[in-house]
Structure 1
């Protein structure tokens, strides 16, 4: 092997090690204080293997979709519009912009950074509502829509009754009632 082949092989091994570290982090989520991912422990039994855990998660998701309409709706959305759930591809920078142009674009949005950071930090202070309460509210939505339609109908009926009452009053005593809405 030549020196060039050795450097290519070394770079390839480094890239594979970096990918392995990323996969390890994705699987375990644990890292040392230096940021190096900790390898996940070996499963104690066959039921603790990753494939079995994924199967268990799929079964649980299927149970949830049968019992909770909101989960079923999200899964239907995923089936009908899978593009909604894919991350958008990163855009490349336009090649015709100079460094000064790019800097001016970034600096024009500089005032938005503190505001956005403040809003994101305030999200941590918000309490997360109980899932059962949220699900109960979602289940009430069709009934609330029906009641809103009923209220709109009643509002129109009341407006019609006001007009009819004003006309009757005008016929009964034309001097007292001057205008009809």
Structure 2
């Protein structure tokens, strides 16, 4: 076997091992302190095999998608845009870095390894929410959407009422205050004209009386 064939065979085996570890993590959800998924235990019965469990999960998912619109929307979104649910590709190591540089980079993150492993281990202690409670919350989503729509309509009505109120106040100011002021000013001007005319006639009358 040539070196190229050996390298290809080794890469294939590593890829298969990585896929096997990923499947093990998806099935068990448990890892060692190093982050390597633990080997799943042998099923106790035929109903606990991987194929039976996957079939059971598919039936439950199909049943859930028929009763919960949000789950159905997520499944349709996955069917239409599968790229959104794929993890981003891993970054390749830049070429030209020496072994000493790579080791310094790895050692700089050495303190984060135990912390990350501790956090991953603590995930096993987190309680899983009840499926019925989660389904009840999902069923409330349409009601929340309708309430949000009603709230938006009310906000729009309030905004329209504010505009109409401002227009009424402006009209009242223009007609009730400014218009009344102009009217009073016009009446006052007319009264002044009448007073001047009355005085003029009184003066004329007095002159005529004096002449007689």
Relative to the length of structure 1, the TM-score reads 0.58
Residue 172 (structure 2) pairs with residue 173 (structure 1): no
Mean alpha-carbon deviation: is it higher for 34-43 or for 70-79?
34-43
Are residues 142 and 96 of structure 1, via their aligned partners in 2, closer, same or farther at CA, if it must alter by over 3 Å?
same
Kept after mapping to 2: 8 A contact 1:65/1:71: yes
Structure 2 residue matching 1:89: 3-state secondary structure = coil
In terms of fraction of residues, the more helix-rich structure is 2
**Map of 1:158 onto structure 2:** 161
Based on CA coordinates, which of the two structures has the bigger radius of gyration?
A: 2
Kept after mapping to 2: 8 A contact 1:24/1:37: no
Residue correspondence of structure 1 range 34-113 to structure 2 within 5 A: 37-38=38-39, 40-45=41-46, 47-95=47-95, 99=101
Relative to the length of structure 2, the TM-score reads 0.51
Q: Can you give the 5+ residue segments of structure 2 that lack an aligned partner in the other structure?
A: 181-212
CA shift for structure 1 position 37:
3.9
Question: Matched residues in 2 for 1:24 and 1:145: separation?
Answer: 41
Kept after mapping to 1: 8 A contact 2:70/2:138: yes
Residue correspondence of structure 1 range 24-43 to structure 2 within 5 A: 25-26=24-25, 27-28=27-28, 37-38=38-39, 40-43=41-44
Structure 1 residue matching 2:83: 3-state secondary structure = helix
Question: Matched residues in 1 for 2:31 and 2:177: separation?
Answer: 87
**Map of 2:144 onto structure 1:** 141
Task: Give a deviation string over 1:75-94, Cα, whole Å, max 9, x none.
Answer: 11101110011111101133
Question: Matched residues in 2 for 1:72 and 1:164: separation?
Answer: 49
CA shift for structure 1 position 39:
5.0
Q: Can you give the 5+ residue segments of structure 1 that lack an aligned partner in the other structure?
A: 177-181
CA shift for structure 1 position 28:
4.6
User: More relative contact order in 1 or in 2 (CA 8 Å, sep 6+)?
Assistant: 2
Kept after mapping to 2: 8 A contact 1:28/1:39: yes
Task: Give a deviation string over 1:88-126, Cα, whole Å, max 9, x none.
Answer: 1101133367849x96xxx8xx9xx8xxx8xx89x999x
CA shift for structure 1 position 143:
0.2
